[in-house]
């Protein structure tokens, strides 16, 4: 996944976290980025990428604002951690 796409995904998901009701309007942009994240995860980080996609995809499924916010927050925390690990991974 290109650096620009990783930044886009983090940016969009951060904005959605701040305003969860905007998830539906951004989902068409987010879904291809999640697919790319999953498909391009390096060996050793595939499980983490899958977990991120699951959390963020689950946010779409729920109507309850608290559950939606929980899934978004969980996905964002994992996404930030994933990007840090990915950067460390590439420096080795």
Residue 46 has which token pair?
Answer: 């595939």
Cα dihedral sign for 39, 45, 46, 48? negative
pTM of the model: 0.89
Report DSSP letters for 9-74, one per residue. Answer: HHHHHHHHHHSGGGHHHHHHHHHHHHHHHHHTPPTT-HHHHHHHHHHHHHHHH---HHHHHHHHHH
Query: pLDDT digit string (tens) for 22-78?
Result: 999 999 999 999 999 999 999 999 999 999 999 999 999 998 999 999 999 999 999
pLDDT of amino acid 1:
86
Smallest CA-to-CA distance from 74 within 15, 17, 8 is with 17
Give pLDDT, residue 53.
96
Q: CB under 8 Å to 21, separation ≥6 — which residues?
A: none
pLDDT score for 45: 92
Please answer whether residues 20 and 67 qualify as being in contact, where contact means their C-beta atoms are separated by less than 8 angstroms. Answer: no
């Amino acid at each position: 996944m290109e650096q620009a796409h990783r930044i886009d995904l983090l940016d969009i998901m951060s904005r959605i976290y701040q305003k969860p009701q905007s998830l539906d309007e951004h989902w068409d942009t987010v879904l291809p980025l999640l697919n790319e994240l999953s498909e391009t995860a390096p060996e050793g980080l595939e499980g983490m990428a899958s977990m991120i996609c699951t959390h963020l995809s689950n946010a779409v499924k729920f109507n309850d604002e608290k559950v939606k916010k929980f899934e978004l927050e969980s996905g964002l925390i994992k996404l930030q951690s994933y990007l840090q690990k990915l950067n460390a991974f590439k420096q080795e």
